[in-house]
Structure 1
Amino acid sequence: MADNVLWIISDDQPRSTLRSMDRTWTRLVEKGVRFRRGYTAMPWCGPARASILTSRYPHDHGCPDNQTHQPFVAQGHDRDTVATRIRGAGYDTGYFGKYMNGLGEDPEYVAPGWGRWVATVGKRGQVNVDGELRDLDGQRPADAFAAERLRTFVERHRDTGPWFAVWGPSIPHDPYRPSAEHRHDFDGVTWDPPALNEADMSDKPSWLRGLPAQDPDRMRDVREGKLEELRDLDDEIGRLLDVLWRTDQLSRTWVFFVSDNGYLLGEHRLFRKEQPYEESAGIPYVVRGPGVAPGTSSAFVSQVDLMPTALDIAGLDPDEGRELSGRSMLQPLRTGDWSSWRRRLLVENTNLDWAMLREGSEAYVEHHETDEWELYDLAADPHQLASIADADVTEQSALVTAMRQARGRALRDLEE
C-alpha cells in the first residue's frame, strides 16, 4: 500500500520554541530529520499558505497580503494545488483547521481537491464542515473540533488508503488562550535574547533606525503565551500519533511539521513577523517518514518543497502540468545525501518589497523600495547585530534580481 502523507502547519511559531514541545520532540524530531535552516516562502500567514499549497513563491502566485483567499481563488490557483494533483494518484484527501486568511469573507467555500473539508472560519468557534457552516457556540474550541475530525479521518483509513491530510491549528497565534492544564506551565519564563531591543541600529535600513524599544515585559508575556499554547498543540500531536500507531499506519505515514512563519519578540526592536530576520523568516521544519534516518540537516529547505515532496511520495511527477518552484526532498530524506541539493534559497516579502538570499552562512537582504541592503555572516553573527557594510554585493544582487523574476525549473536552476 502506498504511503500516507500528513502536513502539520502551526501558526506564528518561532523556530526556537520547538524544543519546548516534549511529545513532538520525542516522537517526531528524534525519529525524523530536523532542518536547522528551514524557511518560509514569505513570513506572513496568508501568502505563506498560498505558497505551501501551490509550490509558488509570492512573486509568482501574486497574493501579496494577508487577505489571501480572494486573489488566490480569483487567479484560479485553487484549481491546481497539492490536493487536486495528489487525488490523481488515488489518494483520499482531507483539510482540517486554518486554511487561508480571508476565508471568513467566503465562509461556505470548499476548496477543490479536498474529499473532507473541516476548515475553521474567522472566529475560533465557527467551522465549515464540507460546505456546511457550524457554530460551536463555545462548546469547544474550533481547533479541538478540527483535530478530532482529523483523528476520525485517520481511523477510517486503517484498512484503506492512501491518504493525504493537512492539519492547520491556529496555535500559537494570538490571542493566547492555553488550556487550564497548561496555562501556568511557563509562568515567569525569562526572555532576554541578544538582539532584544538592539542598542545600535545604525547598520539597519533607514526606516528601522528610529524605532522605539519594545516593552520587554510584553515580549516576555507573549513568549509565555506561545509556549503554553504549544503545550496544547503538543498534546494534540501526541493523540494523533497515538491513532496512527494504534491503527498500524505510523510506519507508512510521512509526517511534515512546519509553521507558516516565525515571530519576532523584540529582536531588532521589532514585533510579530513580515521581516527578513531569522526569528521571522526561519521556521521549525521536521520530517518523519518510512526509512528516514533520524538526525539534523543544514540543507536549505522551504515551504515550497512540501508539495513536490508529497507528489513524489505519491508516485507523481511534480512538474507534470506545471513546473513547481520547490524541490522534492524524497530522495535525500531516504538516503541522507544532500550533496546535490540547492546551494542557495530565496525568501521574500512582495508586500514590503524586500527579498533575502541565503547561501552558505550569508544572509543578504535587498530593500527595493529604499534601495538599501544588509549582509550578515550568520556563522560569526547569528543574531544579525552587525551588517557587513563594506562588502561587494554585486553578485548577490544579480542573483536576487533573477530569482525574483523566475519560477519553476528556471528558479531551481538559479539555486544551483
Structure 2
Amino acid sequence: MADNVLWIVTDDQMRSTLRSMDRTWRRLVRKGVHFRRGYSAMPLCGPARASILTSRYPHNHGCATNMTHQPFVAQGHDRDTAATRMKDAGYDTGYFGKYMNGLAQDPSYVAPGWDRWVALLDGMIDDPRVNVDGTVRKVGSQREFDRFAGQRLRRFIRRRQDDGPWFAVYAPTAPHGPYTPSPEHSDDFDGVRWNPQALNEADMSDKPPWLRDLPPQDRRRMQQIYEGKLEELQDVDDQIGKVLDVLRSTGQLRRTWIFFVSDNGYLLGEHRLLSKSQPYEEAAGIPFAVRGPDVEPRTVDALVSQVDLMPTTLEIAGLDPDTGRELDGRSMLEPLRSGDWSSWRRRLIVENINLDWSLLREGSHAYVEHHDTGEWELYDLERDPHQLANLRDTDVTEWARKTGQFSEAQGLALRRLEQ
C-alpha cells in the first residue's frame, strides 16, 4: 500500500520554540530529519499558506496581503494544489484547521480536492465558526477549534486504516494570539525568561532608515507574548501526541510521512520589531522537520522552504511534480531517504511582495534588498547570528544581480538559479 502524508502547519511559531514541544520533539523531530535552516516563502500567514498549497513563490501567485482567499480563488490557484493532484492520484484527502484569511467572506466554500473539509472561518475571534464540509457550525473558542480539528483528523485517520492512502493537513491556530492556552497549560511557562541578544537593538544606524527611529519594545510585554506562545504550543503538542498515538495504534505510523512547519516565524522585540513580515531570521525562519518511512534521524543545514512540501508529497505518491505546471519548490524525497544533501540547492529566496523586499540566503550569508528604496543589508550569520552588524562596506553587485533574477523566475528556471 502507498504511503500516507500528513502536513502539520502551526501559526506564527518561531524556530526557537520547537524544543519546548516535548512529544513533538521526541516522537517526530528526533525520529526524522530536523532542518535548522527552514524558511517561509513569505513571512505572513495568508501568502505563506498560498505558497505551501501551490509550490509557488508569492511573486508567482500574486497574493500579496493577508486577505488571501479571494485573490487566490479569483486567479484559479485553488484548482491546482497539492490536494487536487493527490486526489486525482487516488488519495483520500482531508483539511483540518486554519486555511486562509478571507474565508469568512465565503463561509460555505470548500476548496477543490478535499474530501473532508474542517476549516476555521477567520475574523470571528469572539464567536469562532467552522465550515464542516460546507456547513457552518459554531465552536466555543479558537483553542477549542484546534481540539475539534484534531478530533476530526484522528477520526479521518482511523476510518482509513484499511483503505487506500490518504493526504491530510492539520493546521492549528496556535501559537497565534490572542494567547488563551488551556487550563492544563496556562501556567506552564509563568515568568519564562526572554532576553535575546537582538532585543531592542541598541545601535540601529546600519539598518534601513525607517527602522532607525523605532522605539524600544516593552520587554515585559514581549515576555508575556513569549509565555503565551509556549503555553499554547503545549496544547498543540498534546494534539500531535494524540495523532501519533492513533497512527501507531492503527498500524499506519510506519507508512506515514509527517511534515512539520509553521507559516512564518515571529519577532518579539528583536531589532525593536514586533510580529512578522520582516526579512530577519526570527520572522523568515520557521521550524521544519520531516519524519517518514526508512528516514534516518539526523539534523541538517540544507536550505529548505515551504514550497518544497508539495513536490515532495507528489513524488511520495509516485507523481511527477512538474506534470502540467513546473513547481517553484523541489522534492526532498531522495535526500531524505539517502541522507545525501550534497546536490541540494545552494541558495534560497524569501520575499515579501507587499513590503517589496527580497532575502537571498546563500552559505552563511543573508542578503536583503529593499526594492522600493534601494537599501540593502548583508549579514554573515555564522559570525553574527543575531544580525546586529550589517556588512555595509561589501560590494553587493553580485548579490543584487542574483536577487533580481529570482524575483522574476518561476518553475525550473527558478530552481536552476538555486544551484
Fold agreement, TM-score > 0.5: yes
Q: How does 1:272-351 map to 2 (within 5 A)?
A: 272-351=275-354
User: TM-score when scaled to structure 1?
Assistant: 0.99
How far apart are residue 107 of structure 1 and its match?
1.1
- Distance in 2, matches of 1:134 and 1:182, equals 27
Pick from 379, 385, 388: which aligns with 1:385?
388
Q: Following superposition, which runs of at least 4 residues in structure 1 exceed 6 angstroms of deviation?
A: none
- Contact 1:99/1:120, CA 8 A, preserved across alignment: yes
Look up the match of 2:100.
Answer: 100
Q: Quote the Cα distance in structure 1 between the aligned partners of 2:142 and 2:86.
A: 35
Deviation at 1:136, TM superposition (A): 2.7
Map 1:226-237 → 2, pairs under 5 A: 226-237=229-240
1:68 and 1:101 in contact (8 A); partners too:
yes
Structure 2 CA distance for aligned equivalents of residues 141 and 120 of structure 1: 11
Q: Which letter does structure 1 place at the counterpart of 2:326?
A: E
Q: Tell me the secondary structure at the aligned position of residue 107 of structure 2.
A: coil
Matched, 1:64 2:67: no
**Does residue 248 of the first structure (1) align with residue 251 of the second (2)?**
yes
Aligned-residue offset at 1:72: 0.2
> Paired residue for 2:197?
194
Per the TM alignment, residue 138 of structure 1 is displaced from its structure 2 partner at its CA by 5.8
> Would you say 1:43 and 2:46 are equivalent positions?
no
Question: For residues 105 and 143 of structure 2, what CA distance do their matches in structure 1 show?
Answer: 23
Kindly state the Cα deviation for residue 134 of structure 1 after the two structures are TM-superposed.
Answer: 0.7
How many angstroms apart in 2 are the aligned matches of 1:166 and 1:250?
16
Contact 1:325/1:407, CA 8 A, preserved across alignment: yes
Residues 95-126 of structure 1 show CA distances to partners (whole Å, capped at 9, x for unaligned) of 00101111111111000000110111123531
What is the DSSP-based 3-state SS (H/G/I as helix, E as strand, rest coil) of the residue aligned with 1:93?
A: strand
Cα deviations by residue, 1:148-207 (Å, 9 ceiling, x for unpaired): 000000000111120000111000000000010100000010100000000000110111
Q: Distance in 2 between matches of 1:138 and 1:294?
A: 37
Q: Distance in 2 between matches of 1:128 and 1:10?
A: 19
1:298-324 C-alpha deviation (Å, 9 max, x unpaired): 000000000000000000000000000
CA deviation string 1:250-290 (max 9, x = no partner) = 00000000000000000000000000000000000000000
Number of aligned pairs? 416
How many Å separate the matches in 2 of 1:136 and 1:16?
A: 31
Taking the aligned partners of 2:52 and 2:142, their CA distance within structure 1 comes to: 31
Residue aligning to 2:355: 352
- Which residue identity lines up with residue 328 of structure 1 in the other structure? S
Q: Secondary structure at the match of 1:141?
A: helix
Q: Give aligned-pair identity as a percent.
A: 71
How far apart, in 2, do the equivalents of 1:52 and 1:113 lie?
Answer: 15
Gaps of 5+ in 1: none
Alpha carbons 2:98, 2:120 under 8 Å: kept: yes
- Helix, strand or coil: the match of 2:168? strand
- Residue 20 of structure 1 corresponds to 20
CA contact (8 A) 2:143 2:182 kept: no
- Which residue identity lines up with residue 292 of structure 2 in the other structure? G
Aligned counterparts of 2:143 and 2:278: Cα–Cα separation in 1:
34
**Structure 2 residue aligned with 1:207:** 210
Does residue 75 of structure 1 match 2:78? Answer: no
Matched residue of 2:303: which SS?
strand
Following TM superposition, by how much is the alpha carbon of 1:214 offset from its aligned partner in structure 2, in angstroms? Answer: 0.2
Kindly report the root-mean-square deviation, in angstroms, between the aligned alpha carbons of the 2 structures: 0.9
- The Cα offsets for residues 22-65 of structure 1, whole Å up to 9 and x where unpaired, read as 00000001100000000000000000000000000000000000
Q: State how far apart, in whole Å, the 2-side matches of 1:29 and 1:281 are.
A: 20
Structure 2 counterpart of 1:376, from 368, 374, 379 = 379
Q: Is 1:348–1:355's contact at 8 Å kept on the other side of the alignment?
A: yes
Show CA shifts across 1:365-400 (max 9, x none): 000111100000000000000000110111110010
Change (3 A) 1:189 1:140: closer
2:133 equivalent in structure 1:
130
Write the distance in 1 (CA, Å) between the matches of 2:293 and 2:182: 33
8 Å contact 1:42–1:274 — kept in the other structure?
Answer: yes
Partners of 1:12 and 1:391 in 2: how far apart? 33
| 2:352 maps to 1:366 | no
Deviation of the 1:140 alpha carbon? 7.7
Structure 1 stretch 359-368 or stretch 128-137: which is displaced more?
128-137
For residue 152 of structure 1, what is the aligned residue in structure 2? 155
Whether the 8 Å contact between 2:143 and 2:180 is mirrored in structure 1 is no
2:359–2:367 Cα contact (<8 Å) kept: yes
